[in-house]
Each structure stands twice: as structure tokens, then as C-alpha cells.
């Protein structure tokens, strides 16, 4: 979350190693996507992100970020993704809610990827518009810290 808040203040900032903040966010997203996929259906369980190749960041409200992009899905091809992050300003460690969407469905309703030769703009233009139409949509919230283990 910290890097998105940093981007909000100075999108062209440079971070450790001379990388731009934008490049840093792309790298972090690769790992975030890999961490989200196991929460989805079994038929995308073998997918993993092998790098974000296109990213657009929007900040429609003070406490919400929308990330729209395209990622490599191992060596299979490329897939669109869209992530909504809701945050709280008092804690930049956790999000309050995120909705993670990735991939497209083929004509039979099975997850599929796009050909790697497609322009990322075409992939994004063809992305699903409704949660039910993505290969995977999952809403994640941080654990309730007030809850005790049984």
C-alpha cells in the first residue's frame, strides 16, 4: 500500500536502485497477482504472473486505487487484470478491501489467455466489464484482528 500512496504524491519518483516508482509497483504487482491466484477457482490454479507488461493507475477517490493492466501468464500468453484497492489512511500496511480480477473466458466458459502477439491496448479493450465474466474474481479483506483463534 505504501508504494501506491507514494505514487499518489509523486508518480515520477525514483526508488532504490534507480528504478522508478512505477517500475517498483509493476514488480510488486507481479508477486501480488501470484499471491491472489490460489484464492480463485481450481482451473486457474496453475497460472502465475511472469511480469506486468502494461499498467494504468487511477485514483478515483482519496481512499481508492484502480489498477488496470496486462500480465504475462507464465509462458501461455497474456491476460488482462483489474484490481480495486480500498485503503485507510491510518494504516498503510493493509488494504480495507480489494477486488481482484484476472483473465478472460473462452466460448465455453473456461479460463484462457490472449495470444502474446496482441497489443496490450487490444487486450484491455476486450477485457470483461462485469465480475462474472472474468476468469477469476475474488474479494479479499484483511483478517479481523479482534477475532481470537479457537
Q: Tell me: the pLDDT tens digits for 68-89?
A: 999 999 888 999 999 999 987 6
CA separation for the pair 93, 77 (Å, rounded)? 32
pLDDT tens digits, one per residue of 6-52: 888 888 889 888 899 999 999 999 999 999 998 888 888 789 999 99
pTM metric for this prediction: 0.88
pLDDT confidence band for 129 (50 / 70 / 90) = very high
C-alpha closest to that of 63 among 36, 90, 82: 90
Establish if 146 belongs to a structural domain.
no
Examine residue 148 and state whether it is found in any structural domain, yes or no: no
Structurally, the chain folds into a number of domains equal to: 1
| Domain extent at residue 65 | 2-140
145 inside domain? no
Amino acid at each position: 500500500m505504501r508504494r501506491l500512496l507514494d505514487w499518489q504524491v509523486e508518480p515520477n519518483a525514483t526508488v532504490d536502485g534507480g528504478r522508478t516508482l512505477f517500475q517498483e509497483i509493476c514488480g510488486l504487482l507481479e508477486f501480488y497477482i501470484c499471491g491472489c491466484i490460489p484464492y480463485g477457482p481450481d482451473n486457474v490454479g496453475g497460472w502465475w504472473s511472469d511480469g506486468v507488461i502494461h499498467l494504468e493507475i487511477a485514483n478515483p477517490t482519496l481512499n481508492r486505487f484502480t489498477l488496470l493492466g496486462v500480465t504475462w501468464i507464465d509462458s501461455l500468453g497474456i491476460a488482462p487484470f483489474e484490481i480495486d484497492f480500498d485503503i485507510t489512511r491510518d494504516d498503510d500496511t493493509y488494504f480495507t478491501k480489494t477486488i481482484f480480477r484476472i483473465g478472460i473466458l473462452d466460448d465455453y466458459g473456461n479460463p484462457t489467455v490472449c495470444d502474446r502477439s496482441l497489443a496490450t491496448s487490444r487486450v484491455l479493450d476486450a477485457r470483461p466489464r462485469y465480475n462474472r465474466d472474468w476468469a477469476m474474481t475474488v474479494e479479499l479483506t484483511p483478517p479481523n484482528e479482534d477475532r481470537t483463534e479457537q
